């Protein structure tokens, strides 16, 4: 291989890494780093960024990394780079968590329809504002369900009124239980910021100012740890809005990774259709409440993310760590 072609191959892998670093993650912890060669992109999990109060099992950590993996796949498809995806090649507790390997057979590469999602990677964001009353058309909901299925996950729309009320009630209980935990509150403070230059965490410009006027039936997480939230207090997160629940048939790290890929696939599709989403995850973060949720909804799947989908004004983006802090380049063999 010539020096020029090797340089071009590494440039393509850097582009894939740039897309992966823009993935959503719990509390914007960005718990990953990347290792690239001319023919491989390795995705590593960074457990030093795990939220031990909120996420003692590492489930949300792995879902976050799954989102980064999906972005990498989309970027590879947009570049026309045929890649084979290996998930957990060394086992569940061994890095890399996933590997993209360049292959010679274009027929074995990702489906080309992933490439159209690449521009949405920079558009997608968490939106914690009040949503408009516009309904989500059934055909769009069906496309989101298909996107989740393509990644080996399940997405269901919560339509039954009793189920919606149960989700609201359980979400309120979980939110109160979490906020009563001093370690949880300390973790929130550590990962929220009013520093506009901070490269990780949840910035004040992206969260509502919290007080008694939020009007939430399904609580949006209170990230306003210093009272500096820029967004309006009136968020009105309601059980009457479009609620989608993402889950998997199993509850193990490989399924969590798949759930992350499905989450980002669905999220990019939401953005493609001109809608926005806010994840409402308290109800699945408290183990006892999560188990009760499965029972109340009469479902066999393991729920990972509750989504509120609708239309709202855009919000500011969050910080991202510089690629140089995340990337290791493996030099080509002599």
What is the CATH code for 138-310? 3.40.109.10
Give me 171's structure tokens. Answer: 């979400």
Flag whether pLDDT at 108 surpasses 60. no
Entry pTM: 0.95
Flag whether pLDDT at 275 surpasses 50. yes
Is the Cβ–Cβ distance between 32 and 20 less than 8 Å?
Answer: yes
Report residue 231's pLDDT band, with 50, 70 and 90 as the boundaries: confident
Please state the domain extents for the chain: 3-118+321-329, 138-310
Tokens 């506009």 found at: 196
Flag whether pLDDT at 274 surpasses 80. yes
- The count of C-alpha atoms lying within 13 angstroms of the C-alpha of 309, restricted to the half-sphere facing its C-beta, is 31
Give me 98's structure tokens. Answer: 């996933």
What is the CATH code for 3-118+321-329? 3.40.109.10
Spatial strand order in the sheet of 302-310:
154-157, 242-248, 302-310, 276-279
DSSP 320: -
The candidate with the shortest Cα–Cα distance to 276, out of 128, 67, 93, is 128
Whether residue 261 is preceded by a cis peptide bond, meaning omega within 30 degrees of 0, is no
What average pLDDT does the segment 321-328 reach? 96
What's residue 210's pLDDT? 78
Flag whether pLDDT at 2 surpasses 60. no
What average pLDDT does the segment 288-309 reach? 98
Top pLDDT among 87 and 222 is at: 87
What's residue 245's pLDDT? 98
What is the spatial distance between Cα 233 and Cα 251, in angstroms, rounded to a whole number? 35
What's residue 3's pLDDT? 67
Report residue 1's pLDDT band, with 50, 70 and 90 as the boundaries: very low
Q: What's the mean pLDDT when you consider all of the chain?
A: 92
Report residue 212's pLDDT band, with 50, 70 and 90 as the boundaries: low
Report residue 330's pLDDT band, with 50, 70 and 90 as the boundaries: confident
What's residue 175's pLDDT? 95
Question: In terms of DSSP bridges, do strands 327-329 and 32-36 run parallel, antiparallel, or are they unpaired?
Answer: parallel
Tokens 């990953």 found at: 32
Whether 138-310 and 3-118+321-329 are alike in CATH topology: the answer is yes
Flag whether pLDDT at 153 surpasses 60. yes
Burial class (CB in 10 A: 0-12, 13-18, 19+), 227: exposed
Give me 134's structure tokens. Answer: 């516009």
Rg of the chain in Å (alpha carbons): 20
Q: What are phi and psi of 266, to 5 degrees?
A: -60, -45
Give me 100's structure tokens. Answer: 């993209």
Flag whether pLDDT at 31 surpasses 80. yes
Report residue 240's pLDDT band, with 50, 70 and 90 as the boundaries: confident
Residues near 11 by beta carbon (within 8 Å), at least 6 away in sequence = none
Question: In terms of DSSP bridges, do strands 202-203 and 192-193 run parallel, antiparallel, or are they unpaired?
Answer: parallel
What is the spatial distance between Cα 254 and Cα 62, in angstroms, rounded to a whole number? 9
Beta carbons within 10 angstroms of residue 8's beta carbon: 12
Report residue 189's pLDDT band, with 50, 70 and 90 as the boundaries: very high
Q: What are phi and psi of 42, to 5 degrees?
A: -105, 130
């Amino acid at each position: 291989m010539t020096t020029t072609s090797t340089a071009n191959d590494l440039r393509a892998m850097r582009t894939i890494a740039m897309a992966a670093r823009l993935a959503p993650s719990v509390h914007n912890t960005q718990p990953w780093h990347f290792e690239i060669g001319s023919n491989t992109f390795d995705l590593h999990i960074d457990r030093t960024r795990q939220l031990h109060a909120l996420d003692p099992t590492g489930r949300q950590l792995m879902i976050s990394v799954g989102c980064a993996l999906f972005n990498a796949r989309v970027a590879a498809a947009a570049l026309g780079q045929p890649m084979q995806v290996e998930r957990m090649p060394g086992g569940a507790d061994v890095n890399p968590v996933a590997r993209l390997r360049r292959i010679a057979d274009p027929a074995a590469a990702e489906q080309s329809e992933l490439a159209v999602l690449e521009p949405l990677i920079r558009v997608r964001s968490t939106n914690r504002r009040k949503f408009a009353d516009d309904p989500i058309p059934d055909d769009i909901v069906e496309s989101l369900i298909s996107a989740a299925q393509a990644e080996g996950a399940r997405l269901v729309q919560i339509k039954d009124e009793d189920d919606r009320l149960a989700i609201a009630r359980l979400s309120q209980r979980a939110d109160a239980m979490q906020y009563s935990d001093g370690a949880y509150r300390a973790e929130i403070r550590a990962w929220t910021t009013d520093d506009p230059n901070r490269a990780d965490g949840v910035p004040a410009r992206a969260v509502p100012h919290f007080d008694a006027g939020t009007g939430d039936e399904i609580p949006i997480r209170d990230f306003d740890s210093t009272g500096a939230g820029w967004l309006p207090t009136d968020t009105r997160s309601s059980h009457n809005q479009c609620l989608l629940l993402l889950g998997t048939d199993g509850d193990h790290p490989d399924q969590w990774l798949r759930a992350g890929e499905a989450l980002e696939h669905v999220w990019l599709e939401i953005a493609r259709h001109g809608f926005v989403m806010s994840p409402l995850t308290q109800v699945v973060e408290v183990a006892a409440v999560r188990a009760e949720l499965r029972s109340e909804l009469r479902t066999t799947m393991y729920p990972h993310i509750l989504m509120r989908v609708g239309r709202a004004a855009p919000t500011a983006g969050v910080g991202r760590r510089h690629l140089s802090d995340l990337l290791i380049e493996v030099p080509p063999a002599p």
